[in-house]
């Protein structure tokens, strides 16, 4: 089963993660725009090569989960990192407010329906983790989930974490490599990005009053993230807390972790059937001599 790539951003599986001690800025000076483009381009080219093998071998699936506060850069990171990757081998799903049909199922159902099949990369822009993040901050949302038992208890949240961990372990056992990225943006940087959305006409469409409203719950969200990451960061389904105040560096970190994780797998192009391979020379000769 897959084991997490070692990284300074890896959330340990011993429950010792503390969000207050987790940086939102990368170490060292930020790369210049030219350096950023060159470094990211090189990593993406490598990712594209590995994605081709993943697709051809058809043995593993890769699931990338992105969670973050608003304006942390989920959309732009997904776009930047997956640029140049064969779209036939990728799929992206964004999960927003659940529908009535989705609420009539267990909380993992709607994302389970969108899991990547073997050979493909699946990307979740938000995920089932919303059910232990936004729903934990706004517990009134549970009123609409038609749950058959009490839900405002510690046991309830512990059981949800357990369900998530069991779900991810089952996927890992069956060949799905799970990488989870928390894009850790600071409250001050979020404020600046909200102001950019208001001041730049081309970004006005990104702005929502609800985004600003959620800022008043910042501390509650940080507590929810800390508990969720501590409960569900496992060697087979690791969380990485990526500093998100510097978007170029963040994208490089994410892309690099994806490539390093793929390199750990036993990926190779499938070999042809020996019986077919013995016939290749005859088929090649026939094709070369074929009259046009």
Q: Where are the domains of the chain?
A: 19-288
Mean pLDDT of 137-165: 89
Mean pLDDT of 265-274: 89
Long-range Cβ contacts of 189-195 (<8 Å, 24+ apart)? 189/24, 189/244, 189/245, 190/69, 190/70, 190/71, 190/72, 190/215, 191/215, 193/71, 194/71
CATH topology of domain 19-288: Rossmann fold (3.40.50)
Q: What is the pLDDT of residue 276?
A: 78
**Of the candidates 125, 127, 122, 123, the residue with the CA atom closest to the CA atom of residue 110:** 127
Measured distance between the N- and C-terminal CA atoms of the chain, rounded to whole angstroms: 51
pLDDT surpassing 70 at residue 291: no
pLDDT over 70, % of the chain: 99
151 — pLDDT class (breaks 50, 70, 90) = confident
- 116 vs 200: which has the higher pLDDT: 116
Q: 146 — alpha (psi -120 to 50), left (phi > 0) or beta? A: left
pLDDT surpassing 70 at residue 169: yes
Compute CA distances 121 → 58, 76, 173, 253, 271, whole Å: 11, 17, 17, 18, 22
184 — pLDDT class (breaks 50, 70, 90) = very high
203 — pLDDT class (breaks 50, 70, 90) = confident
- Quote the DSSP letter at residue 268: -
Q: What is the pLDDT of residue 80?
A: 96
| Cβ pair 239, 229 in contact under 8 A | yes
Q: What is the pLDDT of residue 261?
A: 98
Q: What is the pLDDT of residue 10?
A: 98
In angstroms, rounded to a whole number, what is the distance separating the alpha carbons of residues 131 and 240? 19
Over the stretch 60-69, which tens digit does the pLDDT of each residue have? 999 999 999 9
CB atoms within 10 A of CB 18: 9
Q: Mean pLDDT in the chain?
A: 93
In angstroms, rounded to a whole number, what is the distance separating the alpha carbons of residues 27 and 31? 11
pLDDT surpassing 60 at residue 292: no
């Amino acid at each position: 089963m897959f084991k997490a790539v070692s990284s300074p951003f890896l959330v340990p599986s011993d429950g010792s993660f503390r969000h207050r001690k987790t940086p939102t800025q990368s170490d060292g000076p930020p790369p210049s725009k030219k350096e950023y483009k060159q470094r990211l381009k090189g990593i993406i080219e490598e990712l594209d090569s590995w994605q081709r093998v993943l697709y051809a071998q058809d043995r593993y699936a890769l699931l990338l989960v992105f969670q973050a506060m608003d304006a942390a850069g989920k959309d732009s990171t997904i776009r930047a990192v997956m640029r140049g990757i064969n779209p036939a081998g990728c799929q992206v799903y964004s999960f927003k407010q659940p529908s009535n049909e989705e609420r009539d199922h267990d909380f993992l159902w709607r994302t389970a329906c969108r899991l990547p099949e073997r050979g493909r990369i699946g990307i979740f822009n938000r995920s089932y983790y919303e059910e232990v993040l936004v729903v934990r901050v706004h517990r009134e949302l549970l009123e609409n989930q038609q749950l058959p038992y009490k839900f405002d208890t510690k046991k309830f949240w512990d059981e949800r974490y357990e369900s998530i961990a069991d779900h991810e372990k089952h996927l890992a056992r069956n060949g799905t490599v799970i990488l989870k990225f928390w894009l850790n943006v600071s409250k001050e940087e979020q404020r600046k990005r909200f102001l950019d959305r208001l001041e730049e006409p081309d970004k006005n469409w990104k702005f929502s009053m609800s985004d600003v409203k959620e800022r008043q719950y910042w501390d509650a969200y940080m507590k929810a993230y800390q508990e969720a990451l501590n409960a569900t960061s496992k060697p087979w389904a690791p969380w990485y807390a990526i500093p998100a105040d510097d978007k170029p560096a963040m994208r490089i970190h994410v892309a690099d972790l994806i490539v390093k994780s793929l390199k750990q797998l036993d990926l190779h192009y499938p070999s042809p059937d020996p019986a077919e391979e013995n016939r290749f020379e005859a088929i090649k000769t026939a094709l070369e001599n074929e009259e046009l």
